[in-house]
Structure 1
Amino acid sequence: MTDARLDVLAAYVRVAPEPILPAPIFSRGVLAWTRANLFSSWISGALTLVSLALCLWLVPPLIAWATIDAVWSAPDGALCRAHQDGACWAFIAQKMDYFRYGSYPQTERWRVDLTEIVGAALVVWLLWPRAPRRAIGAALFFIAFPILAFILLRGSDWFDLPIVDTVLWGGIFVSLLTALVGIVFSLPLGVLLALGRRSHLPVVKLASVIYIEFVRGVPFITVLFMANFMLPLFLPEGWAPDRLLRPLVGTVLFAAAYMAEEVRGGLQSINKGQFEGAMALGLNFWRMMGLVILPQALTLVIPGIVNTFIGLFKDTTLVSVVGLLDFLATVENAFKDTVWIGPTIAPTGYAFAALFYFVFCFAMSRYQAYMERRLGRGRRR
């Protein structure tokens, strides 16, 4: 090959790399996410446009009703009756103490506040994955805190705290108490029922199946009425359980049946080799379950467990049918105040109640998603 031909070929040989060009605009950033999630097909695009139109139609009036046109301060319902285009948040502000404490004596409400602060601190301690000495926090929460809460809320002559009958308890702290007791005690009871349903002992298995299927086959209200009226029949004569204890027991028994099925689903998803490996190490049944099987099973069914917790938290509104004055019952009782009569009072009260339940349920769902991602890292490929 002659030098002239080599010069011609050299003109077509790249001697420097091409500059790196940015990705196409529709494959990165906000536009890429919008195209992939909102306009991936003509059906997706149509639904996006319809949803956007509904939001533009409904959201601005709702925001105006809740903020711009709302009544924020008023001594009674007269101003709210005069301005019927917006919410009456003055009603919520005036009744907030009743919503929080019910008829709990005003001079003793610091006991409720102290109980809630201690309980919230312990819950954060337990739920924070990087918190130090969580075993101590668990011991305080499950052993010391119930005793402290009972003494503070009900009172004790030993500590010079006046006795406050549970008839006066009500509002938000009763709803939180009912949900907390149901969540804390239904999970271990559900685990035992799930293990009992998988047991090789016919009597244990039959008893667990009958209990789970019976409770799951009746409405929650039925369980509450049975706990309220039938529980005293199974106790010694002359010992009547407290009116608050009865629905708490019914709530735990009802939620445990659903929790058992969630846990059983997790147990069935565990590979048989995990059981064989644990037995090959010489672990007995309870150590095998506690150290090997249950940690994996509960991790797999975190969404179902939290979903049951969320349903339980919302179902606490039903305890009012057996005489407990929960948060929603206090809201409805506040409507009867003749000073606060108006067409916007009830919508405002129910909007406030919906916001309260949404905040707690959304927080539980977000924490569930966080823990699911954190505990599922080892299973990702």
Structure 2
Amino acid sequence: MRDGETPSFVRQDLVSERSAPVKTTGFVGFLRVRLFNSVTNILVTIVCALLLWVLLVPTVKFLLIDAVWSGADRSACLAENAGHVVGACWPFVHAKFGQFVYGFYPEPERWRVNLTFMLAAVLLLPLLIPKLPAKGLNASLFFIALPIVAFFLLYGGGLDGFAVSWISALLTGFNASIGEVGRKLVLAGDAVAVIGPFLWLAGKLIVGISTAISWVLTPLVWLHISIQSSGRPVWIDLLLTTAIISALIFMLGGGARAGWRPLLASLTTFVGIGLLIAVMGLDRGGLPVVDTRLWGGLLITLVVSVTGIVASMPIGIGLALGRRSTIPLVRTFSIAFIEFWRGVPLITVLFFATYMLPLFVPTGFTIDGLVRALIGISLFAGAYQAEVIRGGLMAIPRGQTEAASAVGLTWWKTTALIVLPQALRHVIPGIVNSFIGLFKDTSLVSIVALFDLLGSMRASFSDPLWATPSSLFTGFALTGTIYFVFCFGMSRYSLFVEHRLNAHQRN
């Protein structure tokens, strides 16, 4: 203010105190900011609270308050015997729990299922914890060794040979099928008037090719016969396979100049296979065989879902890369495969895999019913995964591949080290969403006589010993809870992986 000027305004009273700031932290702050910060949110909160009250209170009352917890038969879960309105019949679950988990798997052999579950958990948990070391070894044991061990634990049986015998039998059977097709064409050519000569010529050509293949396979067949006639076919075949594969790895890897590590790794792997054969007694017949028709319950659900999830990923990656390929034949095949499998429902796929797949295999070669369903589900899920992964591939800027080419990386290294890791990181929600959908869709295998968790639960309702009005709802509540736990676990772990992989974007 300048000299000589009078102030235009001078406050005579003290300024009144300001009101305390609105609390935005803690429980009260959460309620004020998230639930009651506007008229609309207040109305939505009240409606949601009423819905929760209407849904949760009867559910808790049915599952816990009015539930029956002990009893020997259906009489314990009847209202006239309990003296009140009966909710969940948990004695029914206790009595049928073995059927829910194992299906009709023989009770004396159920330790094999428990051991398989334990091995899977022991190998999976370290794989899910990022900070633990030896991820490569852990992944090899989980994705390669565990399926083989689980097969011989769950199904049983032993080995009558190894790779040489298996390859010889497979090629011989396939060649026999080719010869049979040729002979049928020759007979058809003799019976048909118009195109008969063409069919006859084609049949003769196929028979000739089959005969030539049989001459080429003669040394392999002789070797197979020699192995089977020996006293220890499994061990002789294993030693022969070890020598052949290790020698190929050593020579193709550059010999002694490239180092001895690949050869030692190969020999160590086969030594581990030999120890596994000896421990499980696979050379002496192995464990008693349990047919897959006796499997059921949670066992079938986990086998089908885990196999479908693991097998669908490489199928989806291959199809996604094939659909973006510059080779017309590869691109056309990938597009046709994806559109075909996405254009038919899963029920049709299961029927096709169960009843038509055996028509396309060599003569004398049979495929188990469970394996047929696994093949169909894996191909079906792989087609859906291909489109999810293709979306991630399209999100990668073209400059990434151009930069990789500029530094001299091949297409394979560029795809494996640069493109795919980034693409998969972008589509983690879509991939896990497909996994969750596949896990729930395993209930459809019941239409091809495979009793999964839901199918075993529905089959238990036919027992008159536990036929009560509440048994049905109790069984569905249990299976729904199990499905929710697995699906919610996959969802939360995917969020953890997303946050961890995208940590650099938040800084």
Whether these two folds match at TM > 0.5 is yes
Q: 1:39 maps to which residue?
A: 36
Matching residue of 1:162: 288
Q: Give the corresponding residue for 1:207.
A: 333
Aligned Cα RMSD in Å? 1.7
Partner residue in 2 for 1:298? 424
Equivalent-residue separation in structure 2 for 1:294 and 1:23 (angstroms): 54
Q: Is the 8 A contact 1:302 1:368 kept in 2?
A: yes
Q: Does residue 67 of structure 2 align to residue 70 of structure 1?
A: yes
Rate the CA distance shift 1:149–1:291 in 2: closer, same or farther, 3 A.
same
Identify the residue that residue 216 of structure 1 maps to in structure 2.
342
Aligned to 2:53: 56
Q: Which residue of structure 2 lines up, in the alignment, with residue 3 of structure 1?
A: none
Q: What is aligned with 2:133?
A: 132
The CA deviation at 1:45 is 2.3
State the distance in 2 between where 1:234 and 1:304 align: 33
Aligned counterparts of 1:153 and 1:231: Cα–Cα separation in 2: 24
What per-residue deviation string (whole Å, max 9, x for no partner) do you get for residues 235-267 of structure 1? 102212001100101110111011001100000
Aligned pairs (5 A) from 1:279-294:
279-294=405-420
Structure 2: how far apart are the matches of 1:346 and 1:230? 35
Which residue is equivalent to 1:148?
Answer: 149
> Residues 68-98 of structure 1: CA distance to partner in whole angstroms, max 9, x if unpaired?
1101111001111224431001100110011
Aligned positions of 1:11-22 closer than 5 A:
none
Q: TM-score normalised to the size of structure 1?
A: 0.92
Is 1:311 matched up with 2:437?
Answer: yes
Answer yes or no: is the 8 Å Cα contact 2:78–2:86 preserved in 1: no
CA distance in 2, matches of 1:150, 1:115: 9
Deviation string for 1:82-123 (max 9, x for gaps)? 244310011001100111111111111100000010011111
CA distance in 2, matches of 1:40, 1:262: 39
Residues of 2 paired with 1:41 and 1:22: CA distance?
A: 20
1:314–1:357 contact (8 Å) kept in structure 2: yes
Q: Report what 2:109 is aligned to.
A: 108
Q: Distance in 1 between matches of 2:39 and 2:380?
A: 45
Alpha carbons 1:212, 1:260 under 8 Å: kept: yes
What is the Cα deviation at residue 379 of structure 1?
Answer: 2.2
Local SS of the residue matching 1:256 = helix
Structure 1 letter corresponding to 2:126: W
In 2: Cα distance, 1:64 partner to 1:359 partner? 21
The normalised TM-score by structure 2 is 0.69
Q: Measure how far apart 1:126 and its partner are.
A: 1.3
| Greater Rg over alpha carbons, structure | 2
**Could you tell me how far apart the structure 1 residues matched to 2:420 and 2:505 are?**
16
Say if 1:177 and 1:39 are closer, same or farther in 2 by CA, change over 3 A. Answer: same
1:153 Cα deviation from its structure 2 partner = 0.6
Distance 2:505 2:356 in 1: 47
Return the alpha-carbon distance in structure 2 between the equivalents of residues 379 and 101 of structure 1: 46
- Contact map agreement 1:25 1:31 (CA 8 A) in 2: no
1: distance between equivalents of 2:418 and 2:124? 26
Name the aligned partner's letter for residue 155 of structure 1.
G
Aligned residues: 362
Give the superposition deviation at 1:55: 1.4
Query: Comparing 58-67 with 287-296, which one deviates more in the overlay?
Result: 58-67
| Residue number among 255, 261, 266 corresponding to 2:381 in the alignment | 255
Distance in 2 between residues matched to 1:219 and 1:68, nearest whole Å: 42
Question: How far does the alpha carbon of each residue in 1:144-167 deviate from its partner, in whole angstroms, 9 at most, with x for none?
Answer: 111100110111244441111111
**Contact kept in structure 2, 1:317 and 1:328, CA below 8 Å:** yes
Sequence identity percentage: 49
In structure 2, distance between residues paired with 1:298 and 1:128: 19
Runs of 4+ aligned structure 1 residues displaced above 4 Å come to none
Name the aligned partner's letter for residue 31 of structure 1: V
**Structure 2 unaligned residues grouped into runs of 5+:** 1-17, 159-280
Q: What is residue 4 of structure 1 aligned with on the other side?
A: none
Amino acid at match of 1:107: P
State which of 260, 269, 272 in structure 1 corresponds to 2:398. 272
**Equivalent residue letter for 2:334:** S
Rounded Cα–Cα distance in structure 2 between residues aligned with 1:349 and 1:341: 12
The residue that corresponds to 2:256 in the other structure is: none
Q: After superposing the two structures, state which structure 1 stretch, 54-63 or 279-288, moved more.
A: 54-63
Q: 5+ unaligned residues in a row in structure 1: which ranges?
A: 1-20
The amino acid across from 2:33 in the alignment is A
